[in-house]
Amino acid sequence: MSGGDRLPPEALGALEALLFTATEPVEPARLARALGFTEGQLRLAVDGLRARYAGEESGIELVEVAGGLMLGTKPAFAPLLEEMGRRREPAPLSRAALETLAIVAYRQPVPRPEIEAIRGVNCESPLRTLLDRGLIRPVGRREAPGRPTLYGTTDAFLRAFGLRHLGDLPDPEPPSPGPDAWPLETPAGATS
Amino acid sequence: MSGGDRLPPEALGALEALLFTATEPVEPARLARALGFTEGQLRLAVDGLRARYAGEESGIELVEVAGGLMLGTKPAFAPLLEEMGRRREPAPLSRAALETLAIVAYRQPVPRPEIEAIRGVNCESPLRTLLDRGLIRPVGRREAPGRPTLYGTTDAFLRAFGLRHLGDLPDPEPPSPGPDAWPLETPAGATS
Amino acid sequence: MVAPRTGYQVRLRVYEGPLDLLLDLIQHNQLDIHDIPIAEITAQYMAALSAMARLDLDVASEFLVMAATLMAIKARLLLPRPAERPPDGEWEAGPDPREELARRLEEYRRVKAAAEALSRRRAAWSLRYFRPGVPGQPAGEPPGPGGEVSVADLVAAFRDVLARAGPDLPREIYRDPVPLRRQLAAVLRRLRASRHGLPFGALFRPDADRHEVVVTFLALLELTRQGRVTVQQALPFAEIWVYLRRAGDCPGRPAAGPPASRAAGGHGGGER
């Protein structure tokens, strides 16, 4: 390491900010270029960050992977993170979204006007939420005036609710077997 | 702070790891629960992290937004990150949208006719933009003829503008606290 | 119901609306909002409108309404006050006709200030960068329902919404669309009850409507996919038979099919 490898005071911070916002491992050469560092300076900065992360009061560390550097949490905190279900936990569904989802689940394929007729309010926003969250999707269009988009549930919906298939959806009206519960009662005699 | 608020040695690391992997602001209460901390302990840990991030050799810091905590880079490193193409600039808001958003933010809940009376122009298009971008949402209906929809801001709005909560809205006129420092004092929906 | 008003949405090059234009004139002339020289401002306002017209900017109707308002205020100010006040003092302390306009301008000015404050706040905040996928940018898989929502919540929500909808739902919606789940059970039941499987056609109620037929068919597909049922056809265009698969069955060899089905069953008909 040459004597010219002095670090500017904010070098560690700059390196940290760069790595913090990276989506994948960053090659050392690219880091050096971005920071305007020599190779020696980058090595110093990396060592400096490593040292800062070394203590047990630090939750992250610098890892080298796939030819690049990135930040990651320390393995010691894996159990904690796993417990937190660190697969991004979005806010729970709103009442409006849940009701809309229920209607789509039970009535699919169903167009928006029908959902709105049932709920009695505009459902644009809950539908968008459900689409964004991958719980419903457009499955076609109804052959009717305006050809409204029909919505149905997705595989992600099944997974999220622990359903193997749509047939697993519980009967929403268990007490009273509806008026046309025909098939359940029909004996085998129907065989042509 | 009570004497029981001692921190386990890895407390800062655990908090940091949690925040590092969070994709949205995390409420303090949730953090405390996840970490098994008392409120006091969490406060200690937060202060500890803040202190660790304070130096210029740190590239990140702890920010409070939308009722939660998250890690972000320090503003000083914005030019470097921008140069690296890290900017994920959300599309800028038009003046019409900003004005409409300001009315909703400071007057919520507020119906469209009131917004239009204040701006003196039709606001359908900016309202739609704001709804589409998730910055505002319908929060109910006013019990008045026509039952107009009332609009309010969302958590996404707080996050987009770096506000901790609605009380954190910037004072529109910081220099002169005029006789009727309007927005802050006006009771919601009192006008028109 | 929102009628599209395209002509209404004109964005003037600079002005967000008549209030914006007026405010600009007032500031430009360094006037007091609460003491506007109406005649002068009206003249400037009209000049601005005709400039817009010359620039071929479509002058939105709001601008014209404001022009009319200004003219009305001007006219009222020009009217001589009656020399003798009526005895009931009705004319006394008549409100300044400019008052309402001043109030609106003041309010709009505050909105503009608030919008600018928000804009500055946003600019400052945007100097911060977050971990990728933060905030609010979905990374990879969509986030799903979030929280702890169970099937029970879903069912409860459906019941609630139906209960709330009451009996005056549009007819089309009340018609029971024959849930797939029910049809699945029905098909299974009928197959269980039959000893030799059933011809495809027998699975459909004679008076089933199109929807029911579709759902029944979907149920059949689903059962096939789950491997609980096999579907076989002896020859092209021959009757299709449906068999229940019992535990231990060899794939494609229904326990008690008619001989015809065996003929074609060698390759494991419905199995995949």
pLDDT of residue A88: 46
| pLDDT confidence bin for C98, thresholds 50/70/90 | confident
Question: C210 or C183, which is more confident?
Answer: C183
Among A residues 120-159, those touching chain C with beta carbons less than 8 Å apart: 120, 132-135, 156, 159
Q: Which of B76, B67, B72 is nearest to B156 (CA)?
A: B67
Question: C92 or C131, which is more confident?
Answer: C131
Neighbours of C75 (CB within 10 A): 11
Q: How far is CA A32 from CA A61, A109, C211, in A?
A: 19, 55, 65
| pLDDT confidence bin for A20, thresholds 50/70/90 | very high
Percentage of chain B exceeding pLDDT 70: 85
ipTM of the complex: 0.61
Q: Which two tokens stand for residue A33?
A: 């270029």
Judged by average pLDDT, the poorest of A40-44, A153-157, C7-11, C226-230 is C7-11
Asked if the C-beta of B15 comes within 8 angstroms of chain A's C-beta atoms, the answer is yes
Show the beta-strand stretches assigned E in A80-173: 110-111, 136-141, 149-153
Segment C179-190 mean pLDDT: 80
Q: How far apart are CA C108 and CA B103, in angstroms?
A: 10
**C-beta atoms of A74 and B15 within 8 A:** no
Angle, in degrees to the nearest 10, between helices C151-165 and A95-107: 90
**C-beta atoms of A119 and C190 within 8 A:** no
How many alpha carbons fall within 13 Å on the CB side of residue B96? 21
**C-beta atoms of B59 and A13 within 8 A:** yes
Question: A85 or C232, which is more confident?
Answer: C232
User: What are the tens digits of pLDDT across the range A111-121?
Assistant: 998 898 888 88
Does A148 have pLDDT greater than 50?
yes
Cβ-Cβ pairs closer than 8 A, A with C, add up to 164
SS (H, E, C) A54-105: HCCCCCEEEEEECCEEEEEECHHHHHHHHHCCCCCCCCCCCHHHHHHHHHHH
Asked if the C-beta of A11 comes within 8 angstroms of chain C's C-beta atoms, the answer is no
Phi/psi of residue A175, each to 5°? -65, -50
Asked if the C-beta of A84 comes within 8 angstroms of chain C's C-beta atoms, the answer is no
**C-beta atoms of B161 and C125 within 8 A:** yes
**Nearest chain B CA: its distance from C133 CA (Å):** 6
Q: How far is CA C98 from CA B46, C32, C36, C71, C165, in A?
A: 55, 12, 8, 11, 50
pLDDT of residue B184: 39
Segment B3-11 mean pLDDT: 76
pLDDT of residue A184: 37
User: What are the tens digits of pLDDT across the range A70-107?
Assistant: 898 888 888 888 777 655 445 678 888 899 999 999 98
Q: Which of B37, B82, B84 to mutate to test the interface with A (most CBs of A within 10 A)?
A: B84
pLDDT averaged over every residue in chain A: 80
**C-beta atoms of A21 and C131 within 8 A:** yes
Among A residues 163-192, those touching chain B with beta carbons less than 8 Å apart: none
pLDDT of residue B75: 93
User: Smallest Cβ distance to A58: which of B16, B83, B86?
Assistant: B16
pLDDT of residue C247: 55
**C-beta atoms of A48 and B57 within 8 A:** yes
Judged by average pLDDT, the poorest of B29-33, C172-176, C206-210, C215-219 is C172-176
User: Residue C184: is it exposed, middle or buried by C-beta count within 10 angstroms (0-12/13-18/19+)?
Assistant: buried
Among C residues 17-56, those touching chain A with beta carbons less than 8 Å apart: none
User: β-strand A68-73 against A110-111: which pairing, if any?
Assistant: unpaired
Q: Which amino acid is at C32?
A: D
Among C residues 107-126, those touching chain B with beta carbons less than 8 Å apart: 107-108, 110-122, 124-126
Does C149 have pLDDT greater than 90?
no
pLDDT of residue C175: 42
Percentage of chain A exceeding pLDDT 70: 82
pTM, entire model: 0.55
List chain A residues with CB under 8 Å of B19.
59
Q: How far apart are CA B98 and CA C114, in angstroms?
A: 9
Which residues make Cβ contacts (< 8 Å) with residue A19, sequence separation at least 6? A26, A31, A62, A69, A70, A71
In what helix (H) or strand (E) does residue C61 lie, and over which residues does it extend?
helix C61-78
User: Smallest Cβ distance to C16: which of B93, B99, B159?
Assistant: B99
**C-beta atoms of A166 and C226 within 8 A:** no
